């Protein structure tokens, strides 16, 4: 079932959700004085900044190709993912600093019932939105949407962990448990930042299509290969949700240009049907000929 909202629509919802959770989590920290809940609130500010940046980058990525960018602007989404990773890293460092200060000067907590209720409400908002965004990210093949969704889901789990730990503080009398939880939150989101940064860097390196997508392409070419038609020098690459495929198609020199063009059109249609979003470039060559500087393949 296809989602009705676009990538930009989901990111706009993410901005609204971030504003709501900032208000709820800041109130939870204000009521309780918990540095663990403060760390949770600080991550929501990161959510807001990341969602706004992702929205800007997706808007750029969806711009049509122009003279300076003939292949489009799809890679802008990877900048969004990398920026979000850096924002998470900064938040983690700030959380650790605040937690260490509380560790050295522990303070009792108060108003936990109200504070935890506010934190749980914010987690419900983030959890529902992250679930919907992950489904949409798979459908739209958007790394910016996936990065934002995974960040939100990380926020949900850390909020749950913080809430449970904060509730244990008055039960156990361990005031150090509150800053310890904040440090655990920071380490968890550091892990998420490293993963996002790795994915954004890989995306900027022009990776080939996945093994599954390459297998579909090979299956199409194998079915259309014949004594008259031969394919070689296949290359693929991916830029966000844009997929590119280039290859040579060899046909007999005796074929008319119209016949060769019709066969190429058939191959293009079959490849596009096999891999969603694929952009195909096929160079027509007479059998036995190769472009200058390209070795023939058997």
Same domain, 124 and 220: no
CA pair distance 133, 6, nearest whole angstrom: 10
- 204, 234, 269 - which closes a domain: 204
CB 13 within 8 A of CB 152: no
pLDDT given for residue 293 in this prediction: 53
In a domain, 292, yes or no: no
Q: For the chain, how many structural domains are there in total?
A: 2
In a domain, 115, yes or no: yes
Reported as a pLDDT band with limits 50, 70 and 90, residue 217 is very high
In tens, the pLDDT along 122-160 reads: 889 988 988 888 888 877 777 767 777 877 887 787 777
pLDDT given for residue 199 in this prediction: 66
CA dihedral 118, 120, 121, 123 (to 10 degrees): 130
**For position 22, which CATH number holds?**
1.20.1510.10
Q: What's the pTM?
A: 0.54
Same domain, 15 and 89: yes
pLDDT given for residue 298 in this prediction: 44
CA pair distance 196, 200, nearest whole angstrom: 6
Same domain, 40 and 132: yes
Instruction: Map residue 94 onto helix, strand or coil.
Output: helix
- Give the residue from 207, 203, 216 showing the smallest Cα distance to 275: 216
In a domain, 298, yes or no: no
In tens, the pLDDT along 164-203 reads: 777 777 777 777 777 787 777 778 777 767 776 776 666 6
CA pair distance 119, 167, nearest whole angstrom: 12
pLDDT given for residue 204 in this prediction: 62
**For position 251, which CATH number holds?**
3.30.70.1350
Same domain, 137 and 248: no
Domain that holds residue 158: 7-204
Reported as a pLDDT band with limits 50, 70 and 90, residue 1 is very low
- 170, 186, 204 - which closes a domain: 204
In a domain, 230, yes or no: yes
Q: Find the helix or strand (DSSP H, E) in which 252 lies.
A: none
Same domain, 156 and 223: no
In tens, the pLDDT along 13-71 reads: 888 888 898 898 888 888 888 777 777 777 777 777 777 777 777 777 667 766 666 66
Same domain, 243 and 192: no
Reported as a pLDDT band with limits 50, 70 and 90, residue 231 is very high
């Amino acid at each position: 079932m296809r989602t009705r909202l676009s990538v930009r629509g989901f990111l706009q919802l993410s901005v609204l959700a971030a504003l709501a959770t900032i208000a709820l989590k800041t109130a939870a920290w204000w009521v309780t004085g918990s540095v663990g809940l403060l760390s949770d609130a600080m991550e929501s500010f990161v959510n807001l900044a990341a969602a706004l940046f992702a929205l800007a980058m997706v808007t750029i990525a969806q711009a049509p190709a122009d003279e300076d960018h003939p292949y489009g602007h799809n890679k802008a989404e990877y900048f969004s993912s990398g920026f979000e990773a850096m924002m998470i890293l900064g938040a983690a460092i700030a959380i650790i600093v605040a937690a260490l200060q509380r560790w050295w000067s522990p303070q009792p907590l108060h108003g936990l019932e109200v504070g935890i209720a506010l934190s749980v409400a914010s987690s419900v908002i983030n959890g529902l939105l992250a679930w919907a965004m992950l489904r949409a990210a798979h459908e739209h093949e958007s790394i910016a949407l996936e990065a934002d969704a995974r960040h939100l889901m990380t926020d949900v789990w850390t909020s749950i962990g913080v809430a449970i730990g904060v509730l244990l503080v008055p039960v156990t009398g361990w005031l150090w448990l509150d800053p310890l939880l904040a440090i655990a939150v920071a380490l968890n989101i550091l892990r998420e930042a490293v993963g996002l940064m790795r994915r954004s860097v890989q995306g900027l390196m022009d990776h080939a299509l996945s093994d599954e997508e390459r297998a579909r392409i090979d299956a199409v070419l194998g079915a259309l290969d014949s004594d008259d038609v031969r394919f070689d020098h296949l290359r693929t690459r991916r830029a966000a949700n844009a997929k590119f495929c280039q290859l040579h198609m060899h046909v007999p020199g005796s074929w008319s240009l119209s016949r060769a063009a019709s066969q190429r059109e058939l191959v293009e249609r079959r490849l596009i049907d096999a891999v969603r979003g694929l952009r195909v470039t096929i160079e027509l060559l007479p059998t036995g000929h190769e472009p200058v500087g390209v070795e023939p393949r058997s």
